[in-house]
Amino acid sequence: MQPDISVQNVSKVYSGGFHALKEVNLDIQRGEIFALLGPNGAGKTTLISIICGIVNMSSGRVLAGGHDIVTDYRAARSKIGLVPQELNTDAFETVWDTVTFSRGLFGKAANPAHIEKVLRDLSLWDKRNNRIMALSGGMKRRVMIAKALSHEPQILFLDEPTAGVDVELRRDMWNMVRGLRDNGVTIILTTHYIEEAEEMADRIGVIRAGEIILVEDTDKLMAKLGKKELRLQLQAPLEQIPGALALEPLSLSGDGYELTYTFDAQQEQAGVARLLRQLGDHGIEFRDLQTRESSLEDIFVGLVHE
């Protein structure tokens, strides 16, 4: 199947000479929820802005809904809805007017029934005649989403939709996003929150310093996480791991005082018992031990600092 979004060798050098994206390649399928995860300044907003036609790429090619975003700009743009990271709406307009106007920008015929549905779905219906300036921050964010959905896009970008949003609105948003996906909308969201990516996304892409360093099904990524670690602080430092233990998934800290044993959290604990027995056999004594489970957070931090 042809991907809904195809990013091919996209690079971006900003006018000051800063290299914000380096040869990014990414395909996103119709109807999937894709989370782009990365630290501040990684290039998430830059990538989204390029696909949405707000920022020009320096080189490469992007197709959205099958349309080249440069040579077939209008067709591509009409398929896309964007909820930007920064809130920017006219404070003096009413919710209804703002959202209706957004639809008009895409040259779509008026459709009050659709606007009503969007506002109801986002719990904004009661506020439809309020000016934007009279709304709370979370409500303003909902208005941004309503605007992005006003022209019935096939692809929706959410750039950090839940930054500064309370738990309840976050839940509402997640439900709304799932509902859209169930209606065949392709969704790309950026986030710093690993739990959010984990909870929402079918696939996760990790971006760091302008490069996509990992793209994986969320399930597979989580399976990799089913790892546990046993750490043993030794009485006396080891110079190296004894030969008989060489086949075990063991690592030794630089100072020789800590052994780390990695095992699958799903499996029974036989490995741990065996290891402890073997350590005893080799006269390796420890003064303390801990186990811990690695999380997506660990993987993420590891990848980002690698």
Ligand X SMILES: Nc1ncnc2c1ncn2[C@@H]1O[C@H](COP(=O)(O)OP(=O)(O)OP(=O)(O)O)[C@@H](O)[C@H]1O
Which positions lie near ligand X, rule CB under 6 A?
14, 16, 18, 20, 38, 40-46, 85
Residue 92 touches which member of Mg ion, ligand X, none, C-beta under 5-8 Å by kind: none
Residue 266 touches which member of ligand X, Mg ion, none, C-beta under 5-8 Å by kind: none
- What is the residue whose two structure tokens read 């709370």? 136
Closer to ligand X at the Cβ: 119 or 201? 201
Q: Residue 298 Cβ, how far from ligand X at the closest point, in Å?
A: 20
Q: Residue 192 Cβ, how far from Mg ion at the closest point, in Å?
A: 9
Closer to ligand X at the Cβ: 95 or 189? 189
Residue 43 touches which member of ligand X, Mg ion, none, C-beta under 5-8 Å by kind: ligand X
Residue 53 touches which member of Mg ion, ligand X, none, C-beta under 5-8 Å by kind: none
Q: Residue 242 Cβ, how far from Mg ion at the closest point, in Å?
A: 49
The residues that touch Mg ion, with contacts defined as CB under 5 A, are: 44-45, 85
Residue 280 touches which member of ligand X, Mg ion, none, C-beta under 5-8 Å by kind: none
Closer to Mg ion at the Cβ: 42 or 284? 42
- Sign of dihedral through CA atoms 266, 213, 251, 234? negative
Q: Residue 66 Cβ, how far from ligand X at the closest point, in Å?
A: 25
Closer to ligand X at the Cβ: 37 or 284? 37
Q: Residue 48 Cβ, how far from ligand X at the closest point, in Å?
A: 8
Q: Residue 37 Cβ, how far from ligand X at the closest point, in Å?
A: 10
Cα(145)–Cα(122) distance, rounded to whole angstroms?
A: 8
Q: What is the DSSP string of the chain?
A: ---SEEEEEEEEE-TTS-EEEEEEEEEE-TT-EEEEE--TTSSHHHHHHHHTTSS--SEEEEEETTEETTTTHHHHHHTEEEE-SS----TTSBHHHHHHHHHHHTTPPP-HHHHHHHHHHTT-GGGTTSBGGGS-HHHHHHHHHHHHHTT--SEEEEESTTTT--HHHHHHHHHHHHHHHHTT-EEEEEES-HHHHHHH-SEEEEEETTEEEEEEEHHHHHHHH-EEEEEEEESS--SS--GGGTTSSEEE-TTS-EEEEEEETTS-THHHHHHHHHHHHTT--EEEEEEEE--HHHHHHHHHH-
Cα(188)–Cα(158) distance, rounded to whole angstroms?
A: 6
Q: Residue 162 Cβ, how far from Mg ion at the closest point, in Å?
A: 13
Closer to ligand X at the Cβ: 23 or 219? 23
Residue 71 touches which member of ligand X, Mg ion, none, C-beta under 5-8 Å by kind: none
Residue 218 touches which member of ligand X, Mg ion, none, C-beta under 5-8 Å by kind: none
Closer to ligand X at the Cβ: 38 or 65? 38
Closer to ligand X at the Cβ: 16 or 243? 16
